[in-house]
Structure formats: structure tokens, C-alpha cells
């Protein structure tokens, strides 16, 4: 059974930082492209960042590029999202996801962790 468990969310002031973690189990983690998504109240879920399984190529949404950094530790079956210079519009539930094909279709999702940025 595949499980993705996020942690690290919380309340932070604008301009602050948070680091999210996502621990995966039940899959060959090193062979999966991993991504972070977020969903704000009343909005659709949106892509935030992804990191490929092989060479570690990273991708970012324009709204977070330069402020967020995605990374992975295959030995720990964990991905991270370092979020700096947070803005109120970053407030959302953040989800990690795993993709076997790396084509943008994600096979497994976590339950999410809440990030709230106060102004």
C-alpha cells in the first residue's frame, strides 16, 4: 500500500520560511517523479514544483520560482519543499504526489498539510 505523508505546515508571517517534507512508502521511490501541489480555499488545485526521479531535474510554477526549492533524498524516501519569502497568497493545503511516468499524471497523493501565511 502506497502512502505519502506530508508534514511541516503551519502558520508563518509574510516574508517567513517553512520547509515541507513528504515521506513515501510502498513504492520504489527512486523511480518516481515527485511533485508538490497546493489548493487554496475556493480555488482549484495547482502545480507548485516537481523533481524527476533520474537526473533530478526540477520544475516550478512561475508564481514560486526563485522562492521555493524542491529536493529529494532517495535514501530517506523523502522530498522537501523549502519555501522562502512566503506571501499571503501562498496560503493553501499543500499536497505531495508521485508519478510513475513523469508525464504530468500523478498516481498517488498525500493527505496534505496546511500552510497559512499571515500579512
Q: 43 in the Ramachandran plot: left (φ > 0), alpha (ψ -120 to 50) or beta?
A: beta
Q: How confident is the model at residue 110 (pLDDT cuts 50, 70, 90)?
A: very high
Summarised one tens digit per residue, pLDDT across range 81-102 is 999 999 999 999 999 999 998 8
If one counts every other C-beta atom within 10 angstroms of the C-beta of residue 118, the result is: 11
Over residues 42-79, the pLDDT tens digits come to: 999 999 999 998 778 999 999 999 999 999 999 999 99
Provide the grid cell at 73: 533524498
Residue 109 has what pLDDT?
98
SS3 47: strand
Contacts of 54 (CB under 8 A, 6+ apart): none
User: Cell for 70?
Assistant: 524542491
pLDDT (tens digit per residue) in 13-40: 999 999 999 999 999 998 999 999 999 9
Q: In this structure, are residues 115 and 83 in contact, taking their beta carbons and an 8 Å threshold?
A: yes
Amino acid at each position: 500500500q502506497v502512502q505519502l505523508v506530508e508534514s511541516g505546515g503551519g502558520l508563518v508571517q509574510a516574508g517567513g520560511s517553512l520547509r515541507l517534507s513528504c515521506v513515501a512508502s510502498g513504492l520504489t521511490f527512486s523511480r518516481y517523479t515527485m511533485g508538490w501541489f497546493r489548493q487554496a480555499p475556493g480555488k482549484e488545485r495547482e502545480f507548485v514544483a516537481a523533481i524527476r526521479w533520474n537526473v533530478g531535474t526540477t520544475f516550478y510554477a512561475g508564481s514560486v520560482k526563485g522562492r521555493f526549492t524542491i529536493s529529494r533524498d532517495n535514501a530517506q524516501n523523502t522530498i522537501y519543499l523549502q519555501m522562502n519569502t512566503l506571501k499571503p497568497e501562498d496560503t493553501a493545503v499543500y499536497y505531495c504526489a508521485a508519478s510513475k511516468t513523469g508525464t504530468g499524471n500523478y498516481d498517488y497523493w498525500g493527505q496534505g498539510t496546511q500552510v497559512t501565511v499571515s500579512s
